[in-house]
Amino acid sequence: MQESSHNPALAARNIGLKIVRRALQVHKPVVRMARRAERVREHLGYRRDELRTERDIAAVARGQGPIVAGPWLAEVGYEALYWIPFLRWFEDVHRIDPARVIALSRGGVDHWYAGLAGQYVDLFDFFTPEEFAARNDERRGETEGGGQKQSALGSFDREILTRVQQRLGRGEVQVFHPALLFRLFRQFWLGNQSIDFLWQHTRFSRQPPPPPAALDLPAEYVAAKFYTGTALPDGDATRRALRSLVARLAERQTVVVLDAGMAVDEHKDYLFEGLENVVTLRGAISPRTNLGLQTQVIAGARQFIGTCGSLAWLAPLLGVPTLAVFSDDRLLTPHLMVARQAYRATGAARFSTVDLRAFEQLRLLA
Domain limits for position 68: 59-199
Peptide bond into 71 cis (omega under 30): yes
**Are 10 and 80 contained in the same domain?**
no
Asked whether residue 211 is domain-assigned, the answer is no
**Are 253 and 122 contained in the same domain?**
no
**Are 233 and 345 contained in the same domain?**
yes
**Are 235 and 357 contained in the same domain?**
yes
How many domains is the chain built from? 3
The answer to whether 270 and 242 are in contact (CB under 8 A) is: yes
From the list 104, 120, 76, 125, the residue with the least C-alpha distance to 263 is 76
Asked whether residue 11 is domain-assigned, the answer is yes
The answer to whether 279 and 254 are in contact (CB under 8 A) is: yes
* pLDDT digit string (tens) for the chain, length 366 residues: 445 556 777 776 777 667 767 766 665 565 566 566 666 566 666 789 899 999 999 999 998 899 999 999 999 999 999 999 999 999 999 999 999 999 999 999 999 999 999 999 999 999 998 999 999 999 988 888 777 789 899 999 999 999 999 988 877 899 999 999 999 999 999 999 999 999 999 999 999 989 998 898 999 999 999 999 899 999 888 998 999 999 999 999 999 999 876 665 556 787 888 899 999 988 888 889 999 999 999 999 999 999 999 999 999 999 999 999 999 999 999 999 999 999 999 999 999 999 998 876 666 665
The answer to whether 160 and 71 are in contact (CB under 8 A) is: yes
**Are 278 and 172 contained in the same domain?**
no
Alpha-helical (H) ranges within 289-330 are: 290-299, 311-314
**Are 83 and 152 contained in the same domain?**
yes
**Are 164 and 235 contained in the same domain?**
no
**Are 129 and 27 contained in the same domain?**
no
Render 46-71 in DSSP notation, one character per residue: HHHHHHHHHHHHHHHHSSSS-EEE--
**Are 25 and 80 contained in the same domain?**
no
- pTM reported for the whole predicted model: 0.86
